[in-house]
């Protein structure tokens, strides 16, 4: 599937040189083609050069394979030169670490690349050591790399910054805690303001309240985490529950659920009336899909009179069709006020939704499912994992999420064979229906995805996309796309085309997506195929795209590209009809563009006029073209293409004076009067040369 491209003199020269067999020339041609998006054409030249020992060609061939998700192929080409080329060693190490989850192999090749003189290998090798908590080894590597690599120097600077920042916090906390521990009569005036300033508005470093907001500090440099935790623990002496709140959020942001809960539960023993801490604990529970713990924490706060927790509890019960309980707590919340003393707005909307639910029929099982319930419950009571799995499905259908989660857990715990399916179903329910966050359910999707469950594979990829982790998403969505999932194929096409610039590969994936039902991608692929003059392939995809125009306004543009695709196949009459349609919907197409993109947007009227004059060439077509071109000339009287077309129409009618007038208008410089630049015979000759 290779695009059709005009060959430039530069390309012809490169091809001639590459054809003589020199590896450097073959690499030069391959690099030229890749730079112009013609990866398919480049690959054979790069492979030939790499086999002849050109390390640059091997590296570029490996990069192309990696961008196409062909990680084993990429590894092969990197290895052909990695022993002697630092850049290939770096690429191989990066591939092993980021794409193949082989930290040991990555460390080996970073070390080999550093020995070959690659500063990038030394720096990234240090980053790998840091991520493993091996700070002293990493420090030595960074010290050697920093004089030659601004990235290494920046890493050293960031680590010093983080270390100094935590040291400052601990020193200041110690100082303030000592003052707070004094008897009230001995405390300096304004100690509360000093504490507040340290927490929220420290002028020397970033405020203490911001330490938890950048967890990447501690994923990149985990050796600093113990000192940060000590700072939070020491901050308890300041007596402010917000420090415990931030401490818990740091653990939460680092995906340490148990630690976050422990910090909050311990803090609540010291600040039993803190609504901030109790609300945070509830939020952590639901974001991790722990429904029973969520309900328990909400009940404690709701019974203590917290209207926000009452509101949340009412919503929780409403979602599970426990409507009387939902009404009790939502009405209680409506009577309360927010932390600012104003009435809460949320309970009113929630009560409206509850009233709608009360007027609706609750979810029910069908007769066959209802009849099976007693036997399933008896089997589950005897420890049958399959019964637990089916009960999980039925309880989910009834929106009894806590009971469903219980059965899914029992099914997973009771059967290794059923565990992947049960875990995935629980994870999907918690995420889609209960508000659990993506990172909390990834472990529940993974077993089923690894066993080949297509829903789990695509779902896992989608989770990583929402977590803004495209590198982790990519292998799963590629796998889903290969098995026919259209949404995944569209994402892969976007990744390859928009992020990596490999439009040929992108078009392949977009075409799959369009044929699988995501017709939006038929427009993206078809437009590119028209530009490559592969009109027959484009036609099918653009017809699909046109069917989606009522759901997505931009797909009205498919009419224009379909007209061009048909014109390219010599289907003149049908092309004219589609270009007429494109003219009719062009006002909708224009709404999707702005700025420079709008001012440079195609005008289907010009393409239709060109087709009518050059290809249809009947008196009726000429008249239609004149009508199409009149508004063009009103806006731009010397529009060259419009004047050429009108000159041809005039010539065809035998009006050489009229033809000459159009040519003179097209070529008269702005600001000058038109004049008799040519004779009629000369005009006729120019027309034949210019217009064919």
pLDDT in tens, 546-566: 999 999 999 999 999 999 999
Structure tokens at 44: 């054979």
DSSP string of 567-616, one letter each residue = HHTT-HHHHHHHHHHHHHHHHHHHTT--HHHHHT---HHHHHHHHIIIII
* Residues pairing with 337 in the sheet: 343
- Phi, psi (degrees; rounded to nearest 5) at 305: 95, 15
pLDDT attached to residue 79:
98
Instruction: Pick 268 or 185 by higher pLDDT.
Output: 268
Give pLDDT tens digits for 235-294.
999 999 999 999 999 999 999 999 999 999 999 999 999 999 999 999 999 999 999 999
Q: In percent, how much of the chain has pLDDT > 70?
A: 96
Q: How far apart are CA 39 and CA 9, in angstroms?
A: 19
Q: How far apart are CA 204 and CA 371, in angstroms?
A: 70
In this structure, of 78-87, 193-202, 241-250, 320-329, the range with the lowest mean pLDDT score is 193-202
Confidence of residue 5 (pLDDT cuts 50, 70, 90): low
Asked whether residue 7 carries a pLDDT value surpassing 90, the answer given is no
Helices (H) and strands (E) in the chain, counts: 39, 0
Average pLDDT over residues 49-64: 97
Asked whether residue 690 carries a pLDDT value surpassing 70, the answer given is no
- H helices present in 415-547, as ranges: 419-434, 438-450, 454-466, 470-482, 486-494, 503-515, 520-531, 535-546
Average pLDDT over residues 289-315: 96
pLDDT attached to residue 609:
97
Structure tokens at 675: 């004049």
DSSP string of 161-213, one letter each residue = HHHHHHHHHHHHHHHHHHHHTS-GGGSPTTHHHHHHHHHH--SSSS-GGGGGG
Report the alpha-carbon angle 646-647-651, nearest 5: 120
Contact 464, 431 (CB under 8 A): no
Structure tokens at 380: 């589950």
pLDDT attached to residue 1:
46
CA distances from residue 420 to 445, 454, 463, 583 in whole angstroms, order as listed: 8, 12, 17, 54
CA dihedral of 405, 406, 410, 416, whole degrees rounded to 10: 10
pLDDT attached to residue 686:
63
Give pLDDT tens digits for 77-94.
999 999 999 999 999 999
Asked whether residue 99 carries a pLDDT value surpassing 90, the answer given is yes
Residue 140: HSE in the Cβ half-sphere, 13 Å Cα cutoff = 6
Name, in order, each residue with C-beta under 8 angstroms of 365's C-beta and a sequence gap of 6 or more.
Answer: 373, 394, 397, 398
Asked whether residue 672 carries a pLDDT value surpassing 60, the answer given is no
Confidence of residue 383 (pLDDT cuts 50, 70, 90): very high
Name, in order, each residue with C-beta under 8 angstroms of 66's C-beta and a sequence gap of 6 or more.
Answer: 74, 91, 95, 99
Beta-carbon count within 10 A of 228 CB: 20
Confidence of residue 684 (pLDDT cuts 50, 70, 90): low
3-class DSSP assignment, residue 483: coil
Average pLDDT over residues 482-486: 96
Q: How far apart are CA 394 and CA 373, in angstroms?
A: 9
Confidence of residue 682 (pLDDT cuts 50, 70, 90): low
pLDDT attached to residue 21:
87
Beta-carbon count within 10 A of 194 CB: 16
Give pLDDT tens digits for 580-612.
999 999 999 999 999 999 999 999 999 999 999
Confidence of residue 157 (pLDDT cuts 50, 70, 90): very high
Work out the mean pLDDT of the chain and round it to a whole number.
Answer: 93
In this structure, of 202-206, 230-234, 508-512, 614-618, the range with the lowest mean pLDDT score is 202-206
Length of the chain in residues, anyone?
Answer: 692
H-helix or E-strand spanning residue 564: helix 558-568
Q: How far apart are CA 397 and CA 415, in angstroms?
A: 23
């Amino acid at each position: 599937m290779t695009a059709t491209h005009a060959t430039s003199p530069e390309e012809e020269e490169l091809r001639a040189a590459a054809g003589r067999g020199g590896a450097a020339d073959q690499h030069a041609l391959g690099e030229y083609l890749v730079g112009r998006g013609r990866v398919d054409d480049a690959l054979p030249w790069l492979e030939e050069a790499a086999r002849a020992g050109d390390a640059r060609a091997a590296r570029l061939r490996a990069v192309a394979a990696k961008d196409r998700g062909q990680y084993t192929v990429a590894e092969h080409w990197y290895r052909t030169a990695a022993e002697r080329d630092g850049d290939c060693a770096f690429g191989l190490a990066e591939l092993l670490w980021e794409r193949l989850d082989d930290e040991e192999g990555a460390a080996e090749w970073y070390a080999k690349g550093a020995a070959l003189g690659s500063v990038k290998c030394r720096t990234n090798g240090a980053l790998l050591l840091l991520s493993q908590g091996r700070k002293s080894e990493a420090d030595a590597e960074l010290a050697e790399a920093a004089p030659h690599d601004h990235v290494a120097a920046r890493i050293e600077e960031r680590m010093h910054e983080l270390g100094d920042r935590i040291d400052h916090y601990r020193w200041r906390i110690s100082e303030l805690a000592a003052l707070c521990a004094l008897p009230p009569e001995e405390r300096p005036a304004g100690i509360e303001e000093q504490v507040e300033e340290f927490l929220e508005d420290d002028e020397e470093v970033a405020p203490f309240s911001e330490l938890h907001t950048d967890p990447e500090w501690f994923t990149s440099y985990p050796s600093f985490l113990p000192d940060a935790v000590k700072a939070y623990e020491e901050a308890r002496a300041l007596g402010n529950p917000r420090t415990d709140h931030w401490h818990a959020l740091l653990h939460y942001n680092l995906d340490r659920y148990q630690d976050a809960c422990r910090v909050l539960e311990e803090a609540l023993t010291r600040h039993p009336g803190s609504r901030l801490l109790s609300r945070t604990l509830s939020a952590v529970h639901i974001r991790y899909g722990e429904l029973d713990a969520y309900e328990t924490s909400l009940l404690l706060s709701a019974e203590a009179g917290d209207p926000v927790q009452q509101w949340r509890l009412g919503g929780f019960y409403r979602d599970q069709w426990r409507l009387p309980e939902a009404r009790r707590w939502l009405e209680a919340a409506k009577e309360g006020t927010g932390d600012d003393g104003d009435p809460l707005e949320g309970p009113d909307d929630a009560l409206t939704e509850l009233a709608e639910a009360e007027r609706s029929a609750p979810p029910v099982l069908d007769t066959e499912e209802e009849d099976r319930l007693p036997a399933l419950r008896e089997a589950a009571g005897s420890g049958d994992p399959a019964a637990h799995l089916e009960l999980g499905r039925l309880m989910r259908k009834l929106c009894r999420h806590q009971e469903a989660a219980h059965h899914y857990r029992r099914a997973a715990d009771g059967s290794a064979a059923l565990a992947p399916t049960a875990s995935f179903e629980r994870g999907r329910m918690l995420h889609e229906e209960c508000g659990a966050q993506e990172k909390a359910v990834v472990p529940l999707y993974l077993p089923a995805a690894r066993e080949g469950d297509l829903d789990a594979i695509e779902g896992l990829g989608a989770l990583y996309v929402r977590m803004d982790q495209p590198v982790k998403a990519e292998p799963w969505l590629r796998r889903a796309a290969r098995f026919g999932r259209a949404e995944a194929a569209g994402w892969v096409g976007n990744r390859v085309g928009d992020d990596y610039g490999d439009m040929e590969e992108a078009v392949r994936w977009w075409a799959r997506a369009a044929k699988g039902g995501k017709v939006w991608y038929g427009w993206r692929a078809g437009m590119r195929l028209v530009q490559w003059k592969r009109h027959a392939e484009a036609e099918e995809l653009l017809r699909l795209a046109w069917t989606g125009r009522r759901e997505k306004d931009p797909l009205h543009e498919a009419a224009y590209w379909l007209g061009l695709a048909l014109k390219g196949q010599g289907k003149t009459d049908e092309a004219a009809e589609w270009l007429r349609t494109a003219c009719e919907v062009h006002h909708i197409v224009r709404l999707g563009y702005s700025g420079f993109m709008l001012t440079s947007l195609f005008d289907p009227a010009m393409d239709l006029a060109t087709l009518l004059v050059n290809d249809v060439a009947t008196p009726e077509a000429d008249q239609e073209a004149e009508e199409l071109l009149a508004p063009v000339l009103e806006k731009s009287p010397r529009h060259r293409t419009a004047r050429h077309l009108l000159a041809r129409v005039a010539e065809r009618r035998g009006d050489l004076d009229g033809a000459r007038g159009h040519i003179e208008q097209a070529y008269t410089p702005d600001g000058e009067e038109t004049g008799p630049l040519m004779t009629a015979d000369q005009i006729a000759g120019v027309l034949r040369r210019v217009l064919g």
